[in-house]
Amino acid sequence: MNRADPAFFQIRLATAPQDLLAAQRLRYRVFVEELGGTGPLVDHDARLERDEFDPVVDHLCLIDTRRDADALDHVVGVYRLLRGDVAAGFGRFYCDGEYDLAPLRDSGRPLLELGRSCVDPDHRGGAAMFLMWNALADYVLDHGIQILFGVASFHGTDPHMLAPSLSWLHHHHLAPPALRPRAWPEGFQPMDLIAPDRLDRREAMVAMPALIKAYLRLGGMVGEGAFIDRAFNTTDVFLMMDTAVMSAKHKQFYESRWQPA
């Protein structure tokens, strides 16, 4: 049977300590070992990627039931979810460190920050991300979320290597001014590096991370400027989805609940 068969998967919010540790182990494999990132709370000895947000967010975990939970190998996909009301109690969103979120807060609308999204290499491109997005849709509906946002990353910190993709996002997917966060000056990188008439869509999309392309297909929009995150060796862009302006096709994603056979 195919390793991506939905019959082998369970998806749930982390409740047991082993779920959180396995999620942090997966994040370590992806963000530290694969992408070369680090951080002040990363535990290299235990191979756990963690930070100060982990105790307050919801961790949406995709479980491969064939893997060993005792070995912290069972979480093969994870999304970190931080609702606006929880962030207010905690004091900030993760994105506050890279972008000015005043336009979103001033909107007064229910917010959800998405972060630390990653999938085990063995499960990329199959049913895993589909299941996670459907579970995310349920979460959005259950909590009445209207605006979803987060940073998505390009590997590396050389903006010239990323110029076609960054420029395409700026010229074709910029959020409206009233809802548009702007990168803080200390990490600000202009995204309009290539004029619109010189852009090649295919070139831009080939270099675009799969997660960003997925957001764009759902009507995703970007903030003003990218943010250079040298600790994680990434160039981050702010992505948001406003459920009020989604097309009918996009809304259907959130208004239907898919169940695997």
Q: What is the pLDDT of residues 233-250, one digit of tens each?
A: 899 999 999 987 764 555
DSSP classification of residue 207:
T
Lookup result for tokens 């590396």:
156
Query: What type of residue sits at position 146?
Result: Q
Length of the chain: 261
DSSP H/E element including 227 = strand 226-229
CA distance linking residue 82 with residue 243, whole number of Å: 17
Return the pLDDT at 227.
Answer: 98
228 vs 261, more confident: 228
Domains of the chain: 1-145 (3.40.630.30), 149-260 (no CATH)
pLDDT of the residue at 150: 96
Query: What is the average pLDDT across 11-15?
Result: 92
Q: What percent of the chain has pLDDT over 70?
A: 92
Q: Between residues 9 and 35, which one has the greater pLDDT?
A: 9
Predicted local distance difference test score (pLDDT) of residue 1? 30
> What pTM, to 2 d.p., does this model score?
0.89
- Is residue 3's pLDDT more than 50? no
Give residue 122's pLDDT: 85
- What percentage of residues in the chain have a pLDDT greater than 90? 69
Query: How many angstroms separate the first and last alpha carbons of the chain?
Result: 15
Question: What pairing do the DSSP bridges indicate for beta strands 111-119 and 147-155?
Answer: parallel
3-state secondary structure of 218: coil
pLDDT tens string 151-174? 999 989 999 999 999 999 999 999
Select the more confidently predicted residue: 20 or 15: 20
Extract the runs of DSSP E, i.e. beta strands, from 73-174: 75-83, 99-100, 111-119, 147-155
Give pLDDT, residue 37.
82
Alpha carbon distance 165, 99 (integer Å): 20
Q: What is the pLDDT of residue 218?
A: 84
Q: Mean pLDDT across the stretch 60-85? A: 93
pLDDT of amino acid 5:
59
- C-alpha distances in Å from residue 65, one per residue of 8, 20, 71, 101, 224: 6, 16, 13, 39, 41
DSSP class of residue 151 equals E
User: What is the mean predicted confidence (pLDDT) over 94-103?
Assistant: 97
